[in-house]
Amino acid sequence: MRGTTVQTVDQSLDQLVERARSLATPGTRTILGITGSPGAGKSTVAEALLAGLGDLAVLVPMDGYHLANEVLLDLGRRDRKGAPDTFDAAGYVALLERLRNQRDEVVYAPRFLREIEEPIANSIAVHRSTPLIITEGNYLLVDDGDFARVRPLIDEAWFLVPDDAVRQERLIARHMSYGKDPEAARAWALGTDEVNARLVAATATHADHVIRVI
């Protein structure tokens, strides 16, 4: 039940694929949200679902609504990139509303390219016939500001909870893979990312399922 403590369950990727398959009913539209703190494995799970479900699903990440680096510099928020106020939350809500309404033959959604640390508009085609929309991101269950409008648009929400040490090491490795030196990568993962992680962890009670992937 939302708003109360949800018991953590262990699930394999195969089990999660089958759970998602049960949500993908042709002729209907269901939105599945996958959330958790930075480094929780959201993208890994989402990609596994896509691989298992094929044309039944499409992935629309929240990260496509990162504000551009130029905008963040103008706002003085570049050093906090990834915090809630560094996203166009209202734009993300508007996209989810269009996807739920299912009126357009095709809706084009943005994606975020980590290689250049920038969003790319209109790069994911979502066809009206696709029954399951998978969306993943840190702030799907936040109950403040425009992000508070996200949860009512999601039919089922999964919150991922890996071991914190594993999660942090993943983040450090990710930052290094995209160009940060080891010291800078660790500082960002244990600084900015960890501040955001604490905020996200407090939203787990709004999930339908809290999941430890095994």
Q: Give residue 156's pLDDT.
A: 97
Whether the per-residue pLDDT at 178 is higher than 70: the answer is: yes
For the chain, the domains span 8-213
Could you tell me the pTM of the whole model?
Answer: 0.88
Give the whole-number percent of the chain exceeding pLDDT 70.
98
Whether the per-residue pLDDT at 164 is higher than 80: the answer is: no
Whether the per-residue pLDDT at 2 is higher than 70: the answer is: no
Query: In the predicted model, what is the mean pLDDT of residues 156-163?
Result: 90
CATH class of 8-213: alpha beta
Q: Give residue 5's pLDDT.
A: 67
How far is residue 207's CA from residue 35's CA, in Å, rounded to a whole number? 9
Q: Contact, 161 vs 210, CB < 8 A?
A: yes
Whether the per-residue pLDDT at 1 is higher than 60: the answer is: no
Q: Give residue 87's pLDDT.
A: 95
CA nearest to 32, candidates 143, 160, 102, 135: 135
Query: In the predicted model, what is the mean pLDDT of residues 178-186?
Result: 84
**Long-range contacts formed by 176-185: CB under 8 A, 24+ apart:** 178/114, 178/115, 178/117
Q: Where do we find the tokens 């994911």?
A: 124
Query: In the predicted model, what is the mean pLDDT of residues 180-199?
Result: 82
pLDDT digits (tens, 9 = 90+) for 63-109: 999 999 999 999 999 988 888 999 999 999 999 999 999 999 999 99
